[in-house]
Amino acid sequence: MKDGYMKFVHSGAGRVIAKTLGLPIPAKLRRKGAPSTLGPVLIGGGELTGLLQSQVAELGYQLGSTPKQKVHALVFDATSIKTPGELANLYRFFRQNIRRMDRCGRALVISRPPEDCDSPEQHIAMRALRGFIRSLGKEMRAGGTSQLIELSAGAEQNLPSTLSFCLSPVSAYVSAQTIRVNAVELAETADPKAPLAGQTVLVTGAARGIGRAIAETVASYGAMVIGVDVPPMQGELDKVCRDIGGRALPLDICADDAAALICEAARANGGLDCIVHNAGITRDKSLAAMSDVQWDLTMAVNLQAPLTINAALLEAGLINDGGRIVGVASISGIAGNKGQTNYAASKAGVIGMVERYSSVLSAQSISVNAVAPGFIETEMTAKIPFGIRQAGRRMSSLQQGGLPVDVAQTVAWLANPQSIGVTGNVVRVCGQNLLGA
Ligand SMILES: NC(=O)c1ccc[n+]([C@@H]2O[C@H](COP(=O)([O-])OP(=O)(O)OC[C@H]3O[C@@H](n4cnc5c(N)ncnc54)[C@H](O)[C@@H]3O)[C@@H](O)[C@H]2O)c1
């Protein structure tokens, strides 16, 4: 679905009218593949500055800049801040440099998880950063984003995949997120261009929309994809899987034999390295008017099926050590939404799955995370009435809907074996939507 308003305000006359009337002019986001080189990265702050410089340089970014040069990113190491008073160092760094940011710039703060801090003062200072980063996200201009990475002590080697995601155009529609990175032993460094080479990734709901984008994106990073979708979608599913050299597995994830068939496919491929529970449905109705079928079906597809499939795979040992489980929640599961008691409950349940299983499965070094998309341009959101659809797009800091590829790139980062230290996170892909903010 095209965003006609966006097209209009980027036309000559449309821009003049929008400016005159004070209407929003959403920035054109820079996404992966855009033909432009990114400017330098400025790094400031505490003890990890040297390490950050070498990791950022390793990712291919230029460090430092001339005073008049636009910068792509500002990165501040706040791990050395011990008291709320010392937050002034962070303030000064961003205050001095924020106007120098290029379009689609990145503001990034590295901190410690508050609950890991020994002193109350440091705990409080680290907690304060979450408010800072959320407000900064709302002040970023021209498609800029901000993120907070809470890095556990000793997790420095786990940082690069997340640093790479946050700095790069692949995180175009992710903003104001707090991402926790733990210390977990890493497998050998993969080819950065094909971090998923040799990995088997199963994606449910892969025939269209976000699931299709996830299948295509993880395949583009080298994964062998097993795509699942309902039998009536087999034509579309076969095409997606054929195009990416994957394998189609047409089945309804709620069917009695679904978990057994998925286990069979996983076994035939040496187990799964990653499963992405993307298949989802809406059956919107106010609670008073909702039928049992609308409630039951939504809960069955969105929540019960992922739980049943996970249990079967784990019991059979078919999620390989170091594997990743990625759920697809929704901001509706965070904020709630009128007419979506069933959907919001199912998606909040997906968040519960992340909370519970991330700690249970850490012993096997299996990470469990979810993405929570906001308004993404798909056939699901094309069904929303016109006025609500327009409001849904504009009610975010980036003032526009996201694309399936934005969710897919976020999933690909969580599916990367080098991201195994990222677990227990629910990462919103919503352009900092005001819902549940
Ligand atoms: N589009 C958005 O704005 C948005 C926002 C938040 C969350 N989400 C979530 O993202 C996921 C994908 O959404 P989308 O917009 O691409 O939806 P979509 O309707 O375009 O695609 C969903 C896919 O899942 C498949 N599917 C549905 N039930 C299934 C079942 N029982 N077994 C196997 N496959 C099944 C469908 O056939 C379809 O191919 C869903 O979980 C959705 O709740 C979407």
Tens of pLDDT, residue by residue over 51-77, are: 999 999 999 999 987 888 899 999 999
Same domain for 235 and 177: no
Residue 35: predicted pLDDT: 58
Same domain for 395 and 279: yes
Residue 436 lies in a domain: no
Same domain for 205 and 140: no
Q: Does residue 2 carry a pLDDT above 80?
A: no
Residue 294: predicted pLDDT: 98
Catalytic residues: 343
CATH number, domain containing residue 283: 3.40.50.720
Residue 332 lies in a domain: yes
pLDDT class of 387 with cuts at 50, 70, 90: confident
Tens of pLDDT, residue by residue over 86-126, are: 999 999 999 999 999 999 999 999 999 999 999 999 999 99
Residue 8 lies in a domain: no
Looking from the CA of 433 toward its CB, the CA atoms found within 13 Å total 24
* Helix (H/G/I), strand (E/B), else coil: 365: coil
Same domain for 51 and 111: yes
Tokens for 56, please give them.
């950022």
Q: Which atom of ligand 1 is nearest to the CA of 402?
A: 3
Contact 346, 297 (CB under 8 A): no
Q: Which atom of ligand 1 is nearest to the CA of 210?
A: 16
Q: What percent of the chain has pLDDT over 70?
A: 99
Same domain for 304 and 416: yes
Centre of ligand 1 from the C-alpha of residue 128, in Å: 36
Helix and strand tally (H, E) in the chain? 16, 12
Mean pLDDT score of the chain: 94
Same domain for 163 and 242: no
* Tally of domains in the chain: 2
Same domain for 121 and 72: yes
Residue 1: predicted pLDDT: 60
- The torsion angles phi and psi of 322, rounded to 5 degrees, stand at 80, 10
Centre of ligand 1 from the C-alpha of residue 373, in Å: 11
Angle at CA 127, nearest 5°, toward 121 and 129?
110
Same domain for 363 and 407: yes
99: Cβ–Cβ under 8 A, 6 or more apart, which residues?
Answer: none
CB-defined site of ligand 1, < 6 Å: 204-205, 207-211, 228-230, 233, 252-254, 278-281, 301, 328, 330, 373, 375-376, 378-381
Q: Which domain holds residue 294?
A: 200-421
Q: How far apart are CA 371 and CA 319, in angstroms?
A: 20
- The torsion angles phi and psi of 62, rounded to 5 degrees, stand at -80, 140
Same domain for 351 and 394: yes
Tens of pLDDT, residue by residue over 147-194, are: 999 999 999 999 999 999 999 999 999 999 999 999 998 887 778 889
Dihedral angle over CA of 409, 410, 412, 417, nearest 10: 150
